Chains A and B, each alone.
Chain A
Amino acid sequence: MSLLPAPLGPVRPDFLTRVTPAARLVAGMTWLVASVVTLDPVVPVRLTIAALVALVLWSGLPLRRIPSRLAPLGFAILSLTALSILLSGANADRSLAALVQLGPVRVTGPAVSAGLAIGLRVVVIGLTTVLVFGPSDPTRMADSLVQQLRIPDRFAYGTLGAMRVAPFLADEWTLIAAARRLRGIGSGGIGGRIRDIGDRLLVMLVGAIRRAERLALAMDARGFDSGIRRSHFRELRATWRDWLTIATALAIAVAALILPR
């Protein structure tokens, strides 16, 4: 049993799964930018609705698994919203009427509005991220980045190789803890626990480097660094679906920003 969350599968074929990952990334970035450039909560509300529609109709993702996947983010979003309202500069402005006044704590309308905009911004980013990364696996993402966005291939595929090691690293983290407990290493208190985490991190990194060196040797033995131009096993090309996705996302982002309330 791994410490890491499982990928969001199984994905059934649908419109967004046939769009190349690079196109989904570009489309997602337009929503990210649109939600970040404004403190008007209406913009992230509109983008949240658009993202939910896309998720239900075109993503091919197992919808039942999405709420539990996004649940851990709820606390972070609520906390950021509350803090953005409480620590807002608008609260100190005496010309604004206070919505709430509790001793020294004063909350004004603009503070609430901006706080909601920032909290909803994170909701938009979370849903958009699911739409960008959910419909295909990292291998297809790497293929797409290399072929369409011209990311250097040795770095992209090297990273893909390294990613396969992630579950082993997470297992090793628990294994190191067990080994240390068995030997009676470790100390109490906050300082001691931080030291313990540092020591465990060092052991995990040493293991990671040794594993990386073996992997690099194996990859070189198979000609990874031959210098010969790489051909592609899975050819990816932009299709009308890609351009439609990017154009639609951009149009929605612009509409969300400029349409009157």
Chain B
Amino acid sequence: MSNVVPIAGTSESARWRTVDIIVVAILAVAFGIVFWAWDVYIWPWASFLTSPAEYAISGVWLLPAVVAPLIVRKPGAALFAEMVAAVISVLLGNQWGLDVLLSGFVQGAGAELIFAFLMYRNYGPIVAALAGAGAGVGEALHDLPVYYASYDVQYRAGIFILDVISAAVIAGIGGWLLVRSLRRTGALGAFPSSR
């Protein structure tokens, strides 16, 4: 660790400034609260009424893994944001508890791999959609054996396909649009992504 105070010129580097850490953490906390409400009040009903079609809206869980990297553009942002959001939803109390830590890890890692593959240089809408899909693959690989182990194979295939499409559209494109809206408000002035 250097003790040099980061200045504007060095903000493109891989090093996380305090403001990067705190902004990602607070955004993830906000998403964690949304997840908690979503987990307890919306998902069980969607699941009960439409299963396995509820996976068409599962992309909501993956938003932090796309939104955080698009804002701070640092290695590890997808994993960090998704893990923090997961921890918050666990602490508030949802039906999957401890297991959400595993979900958060594989989801964050799925998006992180896409950004890493592009050397953390490209943050356009197509990359966002791919990263969302990556997170969706992670989500499906976790959820299928843990919660849908007994489902018939056509339902399991349906969950996988809906999950990945939902992830690319809601988390990927939706996340990209959300960051664009945030940038237009001027709230992202502290980040290279706003220039």
Chain A residues with CB under 8 Å of B113's CB are none
Q: Which residue of B lies closest to A110 (CB)?
A: B150
Q: Which of B18, B84, B92, B149 contacts A118 (CB 8 A)?
A: B149
- Quick one: given A75-B44, A83-B47, A84-B150, are A162 and B29 in contact (CB under 8 Å)? yes
- Is A239 interfacial (CB-CB < 8 Å)? no
The answer for the CA separation of A76 and B47 in the assembled complex, in Å, is 9
Chain B residues with CB under 8 Å of A219's CB are 18, 22
Interface residues of B in 1-41 (CB under 8 A from A): 1-6, 16-19, 21-23, 25-30, 32-34, 36, 40
Chain A residues with CB under 8 Å of B187's CB are 205-206, 209-210
- Is A129 interfacial (CB-CB < 8 Å)? yes
- Quick one: given A36-B145, A88-B150, A209-B187, are A125 and B98 in contact (CB under 8 Å)? yes
Q: Which of A177-185, A224-232, A243-251 contacts B (4 or more CB under 8 A)?
A: A224-232
Interface residues of A in 160-205 (CB under 8 A from B): 161-163, 165-166, 169-170, 173, 201-202, 204-205
Say yes or no: B26 contacts A212, CB within 8 Å: yes
Q: How large is the interface on B (under 10, 10 to 19, 20 to 34, 35 or more residues)?
A: 35 or more
Chain B residues with CB under 8 Å of A211's CB are 26
SS of A interface (majority): helix
The answer for the CA separation of A159 and B91 in the assembled complex, in Å, is 13
Q: Which of A11-19, A53-61, A89-97, A253-261 contacts B (4 or more CB under 8 A)?
A: A89-97
Number of contacts between A and B (CB, 8 Å)?
Answer: 189
Give the number of chain A interface residues (Cβ < 8 Å): 72
The answer for the CA separation of A126 and B25 in the assembled complex, in Å, is 25
Say yes or no: A154 contacts B16, CB within 8 Å: yes
**In the complex, which of the residues B2, B30, B94, B187 has the most CB atoms of chain A within 10 Å of its own CB atom?**
B30
Q: Which of B22, B40, B98 contacts A161 (CB 8 A)?
A: B22
Say yes or no: B23 contacts A209, CB within 8 Å: yes
Q: Which residues of B contact A (CB under 8 A)?
A: 1-6, 16-19, 21-23, 25-30, 32-34, 36, 40, 43-44, 47-48, 51-52, 80, 84, 87-88, 90-99, 102, 145-153, 155, 178, 181-182, 185, 187-188, 190
